[in-house]
Amino acid sequence: MGAGVSKGSRPSTASSRSRPPTASSTGKDNTTPLGVLLSGAGIKKVLMIRHANAKPRDLEAAAVEAGETASVLKPDTPFANAWTVGDLRRDLTDKGQEQAAAASSWLAAHSLRAVICSEAVRATATKDIMTKGAFPKDGPACLTLHTLHPSRSGTPDCEKMFDKLGYGTLATYFADQTVEGCEGKGREVFRHYITKVSGELHALISAGMANFPPGGDTVAVFGHAVFLNAVAVAVGEAMEIAQAEDLVAVLELGEAQGILCDADAQSVSLSQVNVKS
């Protein structure tokens, strides 16, 4: 767990009414900073939650998905294909369902206003269990951000590093010297994604928040490790939390765990179930 402190004013803003959007249906409107947008919507906390334990890829599901959408195959980035074809259809294991049910206890301590979710089945299933079905897909307060999934990030170098390094802290990625073409460039590589996802979050929330129900000061983002860690940096910096990148970089996000960025407390911390050994 870590915390940082910084000062900064965050004036209010307004938004126009629209149907629940996806990131692909919105433009990147950054006329108002992300932190100002969140503050103006009364959103003081954002939780980045990794999906619970999931089943391995089903080769039959992979074949079906490849047949339905040939465009998911990316010859120029072959390292992404293993995550794309069949990966989005992976469901939770029994262990994953238990993890998500247990994690719902710490999530319940927060007053959720809306959720943002990867399109992957394991992320949406984790969201449904942890929120007890309160934010159904296509509901007014459930938004989809495709680029939360590694293969949909739109950042080939991030995908390349993830294929080699797998799960770990951002600090591990920043220090890595083994991924060909990205040696010593991990921070630069993920900074590109951080900037990109910050704009996408801004566009998504700006277009969707007019339909959010009243009350609640927390948004939960359900997705995938390492990329969610980068999202936490984007949110922490938008909230003007001092040394947000340093605080997030040392956190390793486990299954059904969350990174909490709290604007009022000016802190970054890890939310998890305490399991007895």
pLDDT digits (tens, 9 = 90+) for 33-69: 999 999 999 999 999 999 999 998 776 666 665 555 5
pLDDT in tens, 115-128: 999 999 999 999 99
Beta strands in 44-169 (DSSP E): 45-50, 112-117, 142-144
How crowded is residue 76: how many other Cβ atoms within 10 Å of its Cβ?
6
**DSSP classification of residue 22:** B
Quote the tokens at residue 24: 């692909």
- Number of other CB atoms surrounding residue 27 within 10 Å: 10
pLDDT at residue 221, rounded to an integer: 98
Dihedral angle sign, alpha carbons of residues 146, 152, 155, 158: positive
Rounded Cα–Cα distance for residues 67 and 64 (Å): 5
Q: What pLDDT score does 13 carry?
A: 34
Dihedral sign, Cα of residue 69, residue 78, residue 226, residue 186? negative
Provide the pLDDT for residue 18: 36
Strand partners, 54: 92
Domain range list for the chain: 2-55+92-271, 56-89
pLDDT by residue (tens digit) across 187-235? 999 999 999 999 999 999 999 999 999 999 999 999 999 999 999 999 9
- Report the C-alpha gap between 100 and 116 in whole angstroms: 16
Q: E strands within 104-213?
A: 112-117, 142-144
CATH of 2-55+92-271 among 3.20.20.70, 3.40.50.2300, 3.40.50.2000, 3.40.50.1240: 3.40.50.1240
CB distance 150 to 224 below 8 Å: yes
Give the model's pLDDT for residue 84. 59
Question: What's the mean pLDDT in 249-267?
Answer: 97
Are the C-beta atoms of 200 and 147 separated by less than 8 Å?
yes
**Residue whose entry in the numeric block shows the structure tokens 């080939």:** 156
For the CA atoms of the chain, what is the radius of gyration? 18
Q: Mean pLDDT, to the nearest integer, of 127-149?
A: 95
For residue 30, the model assigns a pLDDT of: 47
Strand partners, 92: 54
